[in-house]
Amino acid sequence: MKNLRLLTVLSMFLFIGTNAIAQNGNSETKMVGGAEMYPSKNIVENAINSKDHTTLVAAVKAADLVEVLASEGPFTVFAPTNSAFEALPAGTVETLLKKENQKKLQAVLTYHVLAGDYKAADIVAAIKKGNGKATFTTVNGSEIYAMLDGDKVKLKDAGGNVATVTIADVNQSNGVIHVIDTVVLPSK
């Protein structure tokens, strides 16, 4: 009987502890590309499991940015899906993945990264503070613009390409990922 009571008490503590962890926004897992994204893993560890981001992962490897995105950060990554890369003009991805174009590929990829941990609420607050438009400086050094379309966050690059955040706040141990549906391109 004592063992049953002890087991019941331990089960209650486990249940309460698990619920507390699940309610903490930083420990919530999300599904991206058919895989769970774990907040205890870094950006690279999670991205490699998403079947919707195989092109992005290949590009990060070709650009020699794996160590950077696996480092402490924090980083905010706007992660284009495979279909976003497929929408680029024919041959663009293949050309960027060539060793001789590594610097250009790095410029494109770092344009999708902000230094710091910007949750969707932070981006929306900046948009509201900017009267409908927020400007962020990317790791690339170029600016990207954020705006709202209803309740959707949109990003606009210098060339006028617009991406929509389709999955927000995918928490990582070293920042956050926001999945986007279009590749944005830097001016330089």
Amino acid at 152: K
Domains within the chain, CATH numbers bracketed = 2-180 (2.30.180.10)
Question: Coil, strand or helix: which one is 33?
Answer: coil
Give the pLDDT mean for 82-109: 95
Question: Coil, strand or helix: which one is 129?
Answer: helix
Residue 128 confidence class, pLDDT cut points 50, 70, 90: very high
Per-residue pLDDT, 29: 87
Q: With 80 as the cut, is the pLDDT of residue 26 above it? A: no
Beta partners for residue 35, in sequence order: 32
Q: Whole-prediction pTM value?
A: 0.84
Per-residue pLDDT, 34: 82
The percent of residues above 90 in pLDDT, for the chain, comes to 77
Q: With 60 as the cut, is the pLDDT of residue 15 above it? A: no
Q: With 50 as the cut, is the pLDDT of residue 3 above it? A: no
Amino acid at 158: A
Q: With 50 as the cut, is the pLDDT of residue 9 above it? A: no
Give the HSE-up count for residue 74: Cα atoms under 13 Å, Cβ half-sphere. 13
Q: Are 130 and 176 in contact (CB under 8 A)?
A: no
Per-residue pLDDT, 140: 94
Beta strands 152-156 and 30-32: pairing type? unpaired
For residue range 43-59, what is the model confidence (pLDDT) as tens digits?
999 999 999 999 999 99
Give the pLDDT mean for 57-64: 95
Give the pLDDT mean for 137-159: 96
Q: Spell out the residues 6+ positions from residue 156 whose beta carbon is closer than 8 angstroms to its own.
A: 144, 145, 146, 147, 162, 163, 184
Give the pLDDT mean for 154-179: 96
Q: Which of 1-5, 32-36, 53-57 has the lowest mean pLDDT?
A: 1-5
Q: With 70 as the cut, is the pLDDT of residue 10 above it? A: no
Q: With 50 as the cut, is the pLDDT of residue 13 above it? A: no
